[in-house]
Amino acid sequence: MKQKLSNLWGKDGTKSVLASLISILIGMVVGALIIIIVGAANPSLGLNSAWEGIRLVFGGLFSTGRDAAGTLTFGFNSTNLGNMLFRATPLILTGLSVAVAFKTGLFNIGAPGQYLMGTAATLILALTIPTETVPAPLVWLIAFLGGMLAGALWGCIPGLVKAFLNINEVLACIMTNWIAANLVTWLFDKGSLFESLQNHVENTKTAYIYKTSFNGVETAKLGLDKLFPNSQVNGGILIAIGIAILIYILMNKTTLGYELKACGANRHAARYAGIADKRNIVLSMAIAGALSGAAASLYYLSGNTEFFWSTYQTLPATGFNGIPVALLAVSNPIGVIFTGCFMSMLDIVGLQLTNLTAYNEYITDVIIAIIVYLSAFSLVIKMFISGQRKRRSKAALPAAEAAAKPPEGGGGAEVEKGGESA
């Protein structure tokens, strides 16, 4: 049993998980310390308020508000849990997008641009195909696949310049991000082809595109609304989990996945072994782009979200948030499911802090920043864990040798007796 535990502890995957958990724990503790410092320094808050803030940081997902006496209450909160799953859906997919590129030796910082192109394609298809003649479920499928295709094509651009011109994919991704932002803005701006998709029904929302439910196109709830009433959750989370499992199978159980990872480990060695490195680099970025496009599709096909078309002002944070999701999961597709839910949980916690205490949601942004910073140093944490294990092994070695060594003189006496009897 001890041997099995020792072997498990020595595995690289175990160390990676521990490094991520340590990063999360340190981030949460630092967030709690910030709350204590702010509470102690502000007489209007006090330590009682700080204690409430700490409880929400660690258990805000299960907060049910305040009772008649003003005390925080906790329990099963279907709204929070459902909204957490809804917000986790795009994070899981953008996390997968970054993770796939990481596995193949590429840094896909272009997820925001791919997300925007997927958004534009999805909304255009969902809102322009008439559901009077084409069944709404078929329109949903066309819009979803169209969003994935748009993201894949946009992801190909950095892949092509990396493969054939050896231009760093980070620079190419940054440029394609801002091209996508301005291109999407132009598509929905006044005088453009799709100006009619602006929300003119609600006068205060002309800078927004109609929800897809306006055309009767939205993701099915699949019974999740019964489990999590009064929340935004829908079947998109199940699709995201299914895609994560498929990506795991692709990367770990197929020849294509092996070739993609081989190119990431050493592009020149892979080429020497007969692997088409240029093709695989482009294909990797196309898969990453398709996953970012899928994230946008599932988010806006929910039927209860609106797209602010003036995107040139900022890039969507969801695309960038895929980076910490992938880092915490150590680029493991199954791990991405859990880290995506964790990041989504912190969003809910931030809202709970704002709504129920005098603190604001920026504290959770600090927590996320610390976790991301530490996850980038996961190799250092893994080395620390390995060092601790080696020190314990060295300390235990003399005791083990002493236990295995026979008592002095005992073995000789038996031999002598054996010789005499012989």
Mean pLDDT score of the chain: 84
Count Cβ atoms below 10 Å from residue 254 Cβ, excluding itself: 11
Q: What is the pLDDT of residue 69?
A: 83
pLDDT (0 to 100) of residue 379 = 59
Query: Given this model, what pLDDT does residue 360 score?
Result: 78
Instruction: Calculate mean pLDDT across residues 314-319.
Output: 84
pLDDT at residue 97 is higher than 90: yes
Confidence band of 386 (pLDDT split at 50, 70, 90): low
What share of the chain has pLDDT > 70, as a percent? 84
pLDDT tens figures, 143-193: 999 999 999 999 999 999 999 998 999 999 999 999 999 999 888 887 677
Residue 28 lies in a domain: no
Percentage of the chain beyond pLDDT 90 is 42
Instruction: Band the pLDDT of 413: cuts 50, 70, 90.
Output: very low
| pLDDT band, very low/low/confident/very high, at 120 (cuts 50, 70, 90) | very high
Given pLDDT bands bounded at 50, 70 and 90, which one contains residue 200? Answer: confident
* Number of Cβ within a 10 Å radius of residue 408: 7
- The answer as to whether 121 is a domain residue is yes
1-25 pLDDT, tens per residue?
A: 555 555 555 566 677 778 788 888 8
414 confidence band (pLDDT: 50, 70, 90): very low
pLDDT of 417 reads 44
Counting the structural domains of the chain, the total is 1
Provide the pLDDT for residue 15. Answer: 75
Q: Give tens-digit pLDDT for 46-80.
A: 778 888 888 888 888 888 888 888 888 888 889 99
In a domain, 317, yes or no: yes
Of residues 136 and 385, the one with the higher pLDDT is 136
pLDDT digit string (tens) for 237-277? 999 999 999 999 999 999 999 999 998 888 888 888 888 88
- Whether residue 328 is predicted with pLDDT greater than 70 in this model: the reply is yes
The pLDDT assigned to 67 comes to 84
Pairing of β 72-74 and β 63-66: antiparallel
What pLDDT does 378 receive?
66
What is the domain-level CATH number for residue 231? 1.10.3470
Average pLDDT over residues 100-118: 93
Q: What is the pLDDT of residue 16?
A: 75
Quote the pTM value.
0.85
**Residues 59-62: contacts with CB under 8 Å, at least 24 apart:** 60/345, 60/348, 60/349, 60/352, 60/353, 61/345, 61/348, 61/349, 61/352
Give residue 86's domain range. 76-359
Mean pLDDT of 18-45: 84
State the average pLDDT over residues 81-88: 94
Residue 44 lies in a domain: no
Q: Is residue 141 situated within a structural domain?
A: yes
In a domain, 54, yes or no: no
Kindly state whether residue 350 falls inside one of the protein's structural domains: yes
Q: How confident is the model at residue 422 (pLDDT cuts 50, 70, 90)?
A: very low
pLDDT of residue 20: 80
Instruction: Report if residue 185 sits inside a domain.
Output: yes
Contacts of 381 (CB under 8 A, 6+ apart): 18, 19, 22, 23, 374
**For residue 409, what pLDDT is reported?**
54
Average pLDDT over residues 131-142: 94
Q: Copy the structure tokens of residue 109.
A: 């910082």
